[in-house]
Amino acid sequence: MSIITIILWVFLAVLLAAFIALFFLNKKYSKAKEQQDLLISKNSEWITLLVIEKKRCKASDSGLPNSIKQTLPKAFRRFKKLAIVKGKVGPKIISFIADESIFDDIPIRTEIRASVCGLYITDIRGLRTPIEKNQKKKGFRAKMTEKYNEASKELNNNKKKK
């Protein structure tokens, strides 16, 4: 066997071991996520808040209390941007951390009902009017297939007219 084939076999073995490790880590973390979601749903409550501002920023710039910042992991504090929502609850202005799945749907300068667990917003509902969900942007391929379908319909209609 030549050196190149040996190197390829070793590389393949390392790659296979990495995939197996990632599979089991994903399984472990998904179970932990399910338990955390269950705990959050049990302890959450619905509150009315007026959304003042929303932004994605690092934990150091977020306006969260220092006790919350210190509980975050160091890498999370330095590099990860959090979805921060500043809202007025009663007379107080509080900074909340929003779930990434609902952050884009939160309207600004509007009163909403939010499911909150501590400082974490998990769900929102409109107080007086329903909240419009933002539609995902279409990818390049989806746009091109849509244009293709429209063009083919036009061609078919033109052929039928002739």
48 in a structural domain? yes
The token duo for 70 is 């210190």
Over 90: is that where the pLDDT of 60 sits? no
User: Mind listing the pLDDT tens digit for each residue in 69-126?
Assistant: 888 888 888 888 999 999 999 999 999 999 999 999 999 999 999 999 999 999 999 8
CATH number for position 46: 2.40.50.660
Is 79 inside any structural domain? Answer: yes
pLDDT at 155 > cutoff 90 = no
Provide the token pair at 119.
């400082």
Number of structural domains (the chain) is: 1
**pTM of the entire predicted model:** 0.70
Name the residue among 77, 80, 63, 132 with its Cα closest to residue 102. 132
SS3 127: coil
The string of pLDDT tens digits covering residues 26-46 is 999 999 999 998 999 899 999
Confidence class of residue 21 from pLDDT cuts 50, 70 and 90? very high
pLDDT at residue 127 in the model: 84
**How many other β-carbons are positioned within 10 Å of the β-carbon of residue 142?**
11
- Is the separation of the CB atoms in 135 and 129 below 8 Å? no
Is 162 inside a domain boundary? no
| Assigned domain for 148 exists | no
